Amino acid sequence: MNFFLSISRAIDAINTRIGQAVIWLTLVVVLVSATNAVVRKVFNVSSNAWLELQWYLFGAIFLLAAGYTFLRNEHVRVDVLSQRLSRRTQIYIEIFGIVFFLFPACALIFWLSLPFFYESLVLHELSSNTGGLIRWPVKLLIPVGFFLLILAGVSQLIKCVGFLKGVCPDPMALPDGKSAEEALADEIRRQAEQDAADATTHTTTGRGL
């Protein structure tokens, strides 16, 4: 089991490095989008290449970070029923979902996307839009992204089995105990309470004056 857990750690390291690198693409997308908008409005100059670059970068963020998102347990889960079950039962459900849903779906998309990318590469496919970009790099993102997701599934499967055997921590535990949605909800609630407290203080001060 230790050998498989070492493989899991290696996969997690790969997805973590890629995920952390992809985070910076969000900033690049914002800068490209803002610059393109300013240049178009101020100088009345536009290019389809810049617009398509935004789409390419968005695709890269979505596809390349999928494995990292799975690693951090931030993918959307429908837990209405499973959250009422024991953790071991939840782990069994996770294993079933990975083996019978995640792997087949990702493997199918990965396999079908390879000729899709290869044809674009061989033909040196260009965008149909004037001044657009070449197509094969963005099509390459599809098999790469789903391959990383398959690897993340393999890692998760190993950790689930390891948890059932009692040799590794709970793989479904959130890193900080809360999901991104829960953390955001708490922050919104905290901000609303702070605004209400500030409004009350302001009203009290105004009456005192």
What digits encode the pLDDT tens for the residues 103-146? 999 999 999 999 999 999 999 888 888 778 899 999 999 999 99
In this structure, what are the phi and psi dihedrals at residue 179, rounded to the nearest 5 degrees? -75, 165
pTM of the model: 0.81
- The one-letter code for the residue type at 34 is A
Cβ atoms of 106 and 153 closer than 8 Å: yes
What digits encode the pLDDT tens for the residues 152-195? 999 999 999 999 998 888 888 876 656 666 666 777 888 888 87
Nearest in space to 143 (alpha carbons), one of 26, 63, 53: 63
Cβ atoms of 130 and 124 closer than 8 Å: no
What digits encode the pLDDT tens for the residues 8-44? 999 999 999 999 999 899 999 999 888 888 888 888 8
- What average pLDDT does the structure give for the chain? 86
Higher pLDDT, 178 or 71: 71
Rounded to whole angstroms, the Cα distance separating 36 from 90 reads: 47
| Four-residue CA torsion sign, 74, 75, 76, 77 | negative
